[in-house]
Amino acid sequence: MDTLPFTRPTIGEAEQRAVAEVLASGWITTGPKVAAFEQALADYIGGGVRVLAFNSGTSALEAALLAHDIGPGDEVIVPAMSFAATANVVLRVGARPRFVDVDLHSRNLAAESVARVINAHTRAIMPVHFAGLPVDLEPLYALARERSLLVIEDAAQALGTRYQDRPVGATGNPVCFSFHPNKNITTIEGGALAIADPGMARRLARIRFHGIEKDAEGNIEVPEWGGKMNLSDVSAAIGLVQLPRLDDFIARRRALALHYAQCLPRHGALLVPQDLPGHSWHMYCVCVDFPALGTTRPSFMSALAARGILAGIHYPAIHTFGLYRRLGYGPGDFPNAERIGAQTLTLPLFPTMELADVERVCEAMSHLLPE
């Protein structure tokens, strides 16, 4: 019996040839392939944005904060349910993450919860499009305009997601993406930032590479601090092959997700993910009330693994980690995020799966969710 992982990148001969061509060219770090990948991403997203490639989505988020001078004494509102990087980058620049709870079904934050925690120290809101499900951005941006706050969208899981029939990233505000191997397309490691403001784009370009600015004659100046956050041409070459396939990947993910919705058992201990227009289905995360079944998550996952099905955990609630408990957060602060964190289970979902694979997972779930 073949083992079914919770995700698998779709890498083939075209990606291998693209990498070989770059290696043979002698230019393997940031160069023409990165420039071409950035333009291809900008064309895909639309809205007149410029796209800058980074070595990770995390670096893109950090650079966005730095470029807007967010630091000590500032607060950034983030959801308590996300990957730890969402909050970690806020601490990295010296600011403080201000957590809010998420909706139990969408796992996204909402403008009403954000409004309740805005204070004199708030500088920005960082919504996360969880698992590719778009955040309801319109009321969030209205609130940000009313309170003169920056919005930085964490779209690490949402390249190809659409909101009100526009690609996520087309707002013109900083929107950050990831191309880690478990994402909708991959560059192995990598990320990108979409933004409309040309002056801010120039500053971001400095921040991602040592703070360096070059004039027309190639002379360099370093007007501010910058990190080492650039993407290589090797990675960009893979992205250039992957990007034209993104919509097909998402269509396949959607078909698999719809099949899960049809085949999974209806059970009081099982909560399935919400489906809304524009969802790109980066992951298929269910919640299972393990105590109600008289079991634990490790036991449940072991039972799935015995059937050749490997599930993931995405994610523990961020505020429950030791780093954030030291900031005064603790159990009971954000009940929905904590319930999701305790009950979440990521079922296999990737473009090369077959419908029969979904049925195999659902059969195993039915066996482990008795009437």
Cα separation, 144 vs 283, in Å, equals 29
- Structure-token pair, residue 89: 């980058």
Q: Is the dihedral of CA 270, 111, 175, 41 positive or negative?
A: positive
Answer yes or no: 183 catalytic: yes
Residue 37: CB atoms within 10 A of its CB come to 26
Cα separation, 92 vs 184, in Å, equals 27
Which residues are the active-site residues?
183
